[in-house]
A = this chain, B = another copy of it.
C-alpha cells in the first residue's frame, strides 16, 4: 500500500536486520510511527497493546516474535515458552494459533542453533502467503462489487458499509474486507464506503478512514449506531467485514458490533459478506456460537478515548462520570445464517458450503 507515494507493508523484515519493523497502529491516525520488535517481549507487548492488530497481522507478528525468542535461546524449552506467551496475548484471533502451530511443527524438526533463521524464513513465507491470499480475496470480491454495480444500473455509486478495520493494516498488505474495495476503485468502479467508527477503539474512524483516504476512496465516518438507519433508507448496497475467527459451521467472530450490522442487513435485504483468509477458519470449532471465546478487554478502552486536542497534542479524555464501571467484550459472534457469502482466497462460498469448498486438514 502506498502512503504519500512510498510503498509500505504493515510489518516487514529486511535481510541482515536483526529485528522486525512495523507501523505502530496505536498512535494512528494522529502520528505515523515506525516501531521495531527486537525481542519476544516486544512482540507480546505490540500484540497485547494492539500496536499490531487484525487477525492475519497478529499471526505474522507472532511468528516474527517467536523467531526473536529463538535468537536468544533456540532450545525446546525456549520454543515452548515463547509459543505459550504468544498464544496468551489474544484469545479470539485464530491465525495466531494456526501460524504458531505451523511454525512450531517445522521448528521442532530443526537443530536449536538453526531455529532462529528457520523461524524468520517461516515468518517471511507466511507474510508473502498472506499477501497472495489477500490479492485473491480482492479478485473474488471485485466480482461481487461489479455485480452490485450492474444491478444498480444507471445509478452511479455503490455504497459499501464496513465495520472495524479489515484493510491492509489488519494484514501484511491489501487487507481482507477492504481489498476488493481497493481493486474495484482501481478498476474505475465508482464507490463510497460507510465507515463504522467502531467503538471502543475506533479502528474504523482512525485506521479505515486513514487507509481509504490514502488510497483515494470516497468514504464517510458514521457512529456505529447509524448503519441500521442508513440501510433502512436504502443507502447501503452491501456490507463487507473481516473476521477474527470463523467456526467450521460459518459462525463468525469479528469485532464487537458486527452482529448488529448483520441483523440490520438481513432485516433490510442488504447482502452481508465476510472476507477472510482460510487461515482464519478454526476447523476444530464446529459450533461457533457455542464455542468461540470472546476476549474481554479493559474497561478503560470504553471509559476513555484518545484524540488530538486543539493544540494538536494526542490527549486521552475521560468520558463517563468518575467511578463508572464498564464492560468491554472485544468481539461478537455473527451466526452463519446472517452471512450472505464468505469470500476467501478460494472463491465465494455460501455458509453451508464453507467446509466443503475450502481445503483443510
Q: Does A19 make an interface contact (CB < 8 A)?
A: no
Partner of A304, one of B194, B228, B263, B307: B307
Contacts of A321 in B (CB 8 A): 29, 206, 209-210, 213
A206 to chain B, nearest CB (A): 7
Question: Which of A37-45, A150-158, A311-319, A347-355 lies on the face that meets chain B?
Answer: A311-319
The answer to whether B202 and A302 have CB atoms under 8 Å apart is no
Which of A304-330 touch B at CB < 8 Å?
304-310, 315-321, 323-329
Cα distance A202–B320 in the bound complex, in angstroms: 9
Give A282-313 as 1s and 0s: 1 = Cβ < 8 Å from B's Cβ atoms: 00000001000010000000111111111000
> B202 contacts A319, CB within 8 Å?
yes
Interface check A256, CB cutoff 8 A: yes
Copy number of this protein in the oligomer? 2
The residue on B at minimum CB distance from A308 is B318
Closest B residue by C-beta to A307: B317
Task: Report which of B205, B229, B303 forms a contact with A319, defined as CB distance below 8 A.
Answer: B205
Which residues from B are CB-within-8-Å of A323?
Answer: 213
Q: In the complex, are the beta carbons of A326 and B221 less than 8 A apart?
A: yes
How does the 8 Å CB contact mask read for A202-238 relative to B, with 1 for contact and 0 for none?
A: 1001100110010000011111111111101000000
Shortest beta-carbon distance from A249 to chain B in Å: 15
Does A197 touch B at the CB level, under 8 Å?
A: yes
A221 to B325, CA, bound (A): 6
